Structure 1
Amino acid sequence: MNYTLNQLQIFLKIVQTQSVTKASEELHLTQPAVSIQLRNFQDQFEIPLTEVIGRKIYITDFGYEIAEAAENIINQVQAINYKTMAYKGQLSGKLKISIVSTGKYIMPFFLADFMKEHTGIELLMDVTNKSKVMESLKKNEVDFALVSIVPTTLDVEQLDLLQNKLYLVGSAEKLFNEEKNIKKVFKNLPLIYREQGSGTRQIMEKFIAQNSISGFKKMELTSNEAVKQAMVAGLGYSIMPLIGIKNELRNNELQIIPVKGLPITTNWSLIWLKGKKHSPISSALLKYIQEEKQRIVQEKFNWYEQY
């Protein structure tokens, strides 16, 4: 046996993604390079690791056993690296954060300088909807979660990062006057919703219910990016966070429609389970954000205060 750590990593990623193409994308390698490494790895075993039927790759039972062993080896190698850096007095290890989808416009700015300073930290950041974020937090699978609505069903502590503002938004092509009668604004307005479990949808539905609005549901999409592109194309309107439409507003592709009662404001908050014993990494991150929050907001979100 003469396989390399690189081959183990590539094979494990193929097993995880069930695809050579997806594995190459996630590893930032070309598909031919991944295929060659898979073939070289396979040549060292007499028993097939994979089968290709049609254009789909399937992992054999033996392949799954080798993948499990590969994962253990990779984890041990990472542990050696972490221990080496810790011995040198450097923070090292994994930092796990789960964030709601729109949080991708916020969290990276609060992490960038911290990650540059502590190169031994491996960041695992899951970007998903609110329901899955809460599930990860509840199971204590992550160090922190970033949300725009702090849960009432979990006992958590929080650090507010930035105000969240939600407006009625749509294509810039149609002209709107400021209208005090909310029902008139929404009359015959095709509305685009996020999927069930989304915090943005929860806020939008609450606003519509509180104001007895009878606007009709045009479609339901599973990400703010999809909602944004649908609005740019003129397919409808939605109540959505300001944080994700900076470029579209500047390029006059979208507009904020003035409506009484909007914007709705909440806070983007970093939360964690109350009583959680923080690792040295998560403790250092909390300290860093508490000390640098105002500077980051002023430098990176100055445009936000214009609205």
Structure 2
Amino acid sequence: MNYTLNQLQIFLKIAKTQSVTKAAEELHLTQPAVSIQLRNFQSQFSIPLTEVVGRKIYITDFGKEIAIAAEKILEEVANINHKTLSYRGEMSGRLKISVVSTGKYIMPYFISGFIKNNPGVELYIDVTNKTSVLASLENNEVDFSLVSIVPNNLNIEKLDLLQNRLYLVGNTEEKFNEGAHSIDIFSNLPLIFRETGSGTRQAMNKFIEANNIKVLKKMELTSNEALKQAILAGMGYSIMPLIGLKSELIDHQLQIIPVKGLPIKSMWSLIWLKGKKHSPLAEKYLEYLKKEKEALVQKHFEWYELY
């Protein structure tokens, strides 16, 4: 046997994603490169690790056993690397954060400086919808979660980072009168919604219900980027977080339509389970945020105050 750590990592990713294509995407490799490494890895075993039925790849029972062993080996290698760095006095370990989908526009700015100052840190960020983010937090699968609506059914602690503001947004094909419009404007606008479970959808629904607004529902999309592209294409309007619209507003591709009662305001907060025993790495990151967050907001989000 002469397999490499790289081959173990690739096979483990294939086993977890059940797809060569998805494994390649998550590992930032080309699909042919992943296929070649899988073939080279398989050649060292006399028993098949995978089988292909139609266009779908399946992991054999033997392959599942190898995947379990590969995960243990890779964990031990990571531990060796972390211990080496610790003996050199450098911060090391894995920091795991789950982030609601629109939080991807702010989380990098609140962590990039910490990662640059601590090159031994391995960062894992899972960007998904609110429901999945809270599930990962409740199951203690992550150190922290970034949300725009703090859950009231979990016992958590939090650190507020940045105000979140949601506006009515459309493309620039239609001109609207200046000044704040009444909520009657919604009766003539086809609205595009985020999926159920999204924090943006929750905030939008709450606003609509509180104001007894009768809406013309156009469609439902499962990501902020897809929603934005639909609006740009003239397919409808939506209530969206300002944080993801910087480029399109500056380039005059999108416009904010003033409406009485908007924006909806909440707070981007980093949350964690109350009483959670943080690792030294997670504690260090919290210290970094508490010390640097005001400077980071001023440096990276000055444009935010223009709207």
TM-score by length of 2: 0.97
* Number of the residue aligned with 1:111: 111
Indicate the residue corresponding to 2:256 in structure 1.
256
Contact 2:163 2:267 in 1 (8 A): yes
- 2:147 aligned partner, one-letter code: V
Q: Matched residue of 1:157: which SS? A: strand
Q: Deviations over 1:97-138 (max 9, x none)?
A: 111100000011000010011111111111111111111111
In structure 1, distance between residues paired with 2:297 and 2:121: 23
Q: CA deviation at 1:253?
A: 1.1
1:178/1:212 CA distance change after superposition, 3 Å: farther
Give distance in 1, aligned partners of 2:53 and 2:156.
48
Question: 1:178–1:261: structure 2 CA closer, same or farther, 3 Å change rule?
Answer: farther
Say if 2:56 is the partner of 1:60: no
Following TM superposition, by how much is the alpha carbon of 1:95 offset from its aligned partner in structure 2, in angstroms?
A: 0.5
Instruction: Provide TM-score, normalisation by structure 1.
Output: 0.97
CA deviation map 1:231-262 (0-9, x unaligned): 00111111110000111111111100011111
In structure 2, relative to structure 1, the CA distance for the partners of 1:239 and 1:287 (3 Å cut) is same
Q: Is it true that 1:169 corresponds to 2:169 in the alignment? A: yes
**Tell me, what secondary structure is at the counterpart of 2:111?**
helix
2:42 matches 1:36 = no
Alpha-carbon distance, 1:179 to partner: 5.9
Pair 1:13 & 2:13 matched: yes
Alpha-carbon distance in structure 2 between the residues aligned to 1:287 and 1:163: 20
Tell me how far apart the structure 2 counterparts of residues 31 and 180 of structure 1 sit (CA, whole Å).
Answer: 51
Q: Matched residue pairs, number? A: 307
Equivalent residue, structure 1, for 2:89: 89
Partner Cα separation in structure 1 for residue 54 and residue 272 of structure 2: 46
Deviation at 1:180, TM superposition (A): 5.3
The structure 1 segments of at least 4 consecutive aligned residues displaced by more than 4 Å after TM superposition are 178-181
Deviation at 1:21, TM superposition (A): 2.3
Unaligned runs of 5+ in 1: none
Aligned to 1:292: 292
Q: Which runs of 5+ in 2 are unaligned?
A: none
Tell me which residue corresponds to 1:49: 49
Summarize the alignment of residues 189-268 of structure 1 with structure 2, pairs less than 5 Å apart.
189-268=189-268
Measure the CA separation in 1 of the matches of 2:278 and 2:23.
33
Single out whichever of 240-249 and 29-38 deviates more from structure 2: 29-38
Q: Please, which moves more after superposition, 39-48 or 101-110?
A: 39-48
CA apart distance, 1:140: 1.5
Bigger Cα displacement from structure 2, 37-46 vs 70-79: 37-46
Q: Is 212-221 or 181-190 further displaced after alignment?
A: 181-190
Structure 2 equivalent of residue 278 of structure 1 = 278
Distance 1:140 1:18 in 2: 25
Write the letter of the residue equivalent to 1:5: L
Q: What amino acid maps onto 2:216 in structure 1?
A: F
* Distance change >3 Å, CA 46–CA 180, structure 1 → 2: closer
* Distance in 1, Cα, partners of 2:258 & 2:105: 24
C-alpha distance 180-7 of structure 1, shift in aligned 2 (>3 A):
closer
Give the secondary structure class of the aligned counterpart of 1:57.
strand
Q: Contact conserved, 1:177 with 1:258, CA < 8 A, in 2? A: no
The Cα shift of 1:28 comes to: 2.3
Q: Distance in 2 between matches of 1:223 and 1:206?
A: 19
Equivalent residues of 1:92, 1:122 under 8 A apart:
yes
Paired with 1:53 and 1:154, the residues of 2 have a C-alpha distance of 43
Q: Once the 2 structures are TM-superposed, how far is the Cα of residue 32 of structure 1 from its aligned partner?
A: 2.5
Over the residues paired in the alignment, what is the CA RMSD in angstroms? 1.3
Corresponding letter in the other structure for 1:230: A
Shift of 1:57: 2.0
Q: 3-state DSSP class of the match of 1:145?
A: strand
In structure 2, the residue corresponding to 1:177 is in which secondary structure? coil
Aligned residues of 2:181 and 2:258 also touching (Cα < 8 A): no
CA distance in 1, matches of 2:30, 2:274: 44
CA contact (8 A) 1:190 1:217 kept: yes
Percent of aligned pairs sharing the same letter? 68
